[in-house]
Amino acid sequence: MRKDYDLVVVGAGPAGLTAGIYGARSGLETVVLEKGICGGLSNEAPEIENYPGFKKVAGLELAERMKEQAAEFAELKELEAVEKIEQVRGEEEKRRKKEEMKVVTEKGSYVAKAVIFCTGTRHRKLGAAGEDEFLGRGVSYCATCDGFFFRNKQVAVVGGGDSAVREALHLKKLGCEVTLIHRRDKLRAEPFLQKRLKEAGVPVLWNSVVLEIKGDSRVRSVLRFDKERESEEVVEVEGVFVSVGEEPANELALQLGVELNQSGYVVTDKNQRTNLERVYAAGDLTGGVRQVVVACAEGAVAATSAYNDLLGLGGEGGGK
């Protein structure tokens, strides 16, 4: 069944939910489509300590509050994956040079005057042998989701950024025996987190590459290569939490013809406009500083730009 909207937002993480709020409050008929549940990767954050107004808040709680607020204004549809987006080029649209877009999901289709991509990123894989084989049997990409099942067990966190350190601290708090494995000789995580890691007594295996994840019915160990000593070592663990960054979920944007940079992130101007008319992008999908507060700001700007463009106002996004 076809439904017509002024604005379709694809993705309901912090950027998408904020775009939904701003779009609907500006008077645009707005729907937000999400293939999973609202919140995106922010749901997986054990604690968020740098979102204004909250000294400390669980990512899941913050996402739920955003969802509740967005639902007061925009139509939210969870568990509805977008399969493709295409231009609708009827004779009237051609004459007016205002082609609409058809957003096709597994449950129906939506015709939109404007689309905002907020599809975010997905976890990057480690690329080690056994990673796929033991997914769900000891290999995880989310300590918040799966950490409880590894209480009092030996686990490894692979990575060296903010997310990896947060995962390690969360697992330590749950009662896991945690070892951090990092391929370099220093962490990329912010100093505050590094200090907390040291205080928690989490050991770090430096200059180490995980070559293979081994086990039987479940993970039993990892084979690491020590780049400094040029030697291999088996580290006994029952869980491996991979936190080596993210990659953009850009398939839908690419399918429509949106410009991407060399890393696969969507290219936008300062008002979140892409190279296509009335197509915008916001949040982690655009790269840059991948923080919840930045995603929210970009979502607000994108929706404001969509409103201005649909009304023929043009100019800067960011009205108050």
User: Would you please indicate which residues are annotated as catalytic (active-site) residues?
Assistant: 142, 145-146
Distance of alpha carbon 143 from the chain centroid: 15
The structure tokens 């967005």 sit at 70
Please report, for residues 49, 144, 183, 295, the alpha-carbon distance to residue 163 in angstroms, rounded to integers and kept in the order given: 13, 11, 15, 17
CB 203 within 8 A of CB 212: no
Q: Which amino acid is at 307?
A: Y
Give the span between the Cα atoms of 103 and 87, in whole angstroms. 9
DSSP H stretches of helix in 38-108? 59-71, 91-96
Please report, for residues 74, 156, 179, 183, the alpha-carbon distance to residue 230 in angstroms, rounded to integers and kept in the order given: 56, 21, 20, 13
Q: Please report, for the chain, how many H helices and E strands are present, in that order.
A: 8, 17
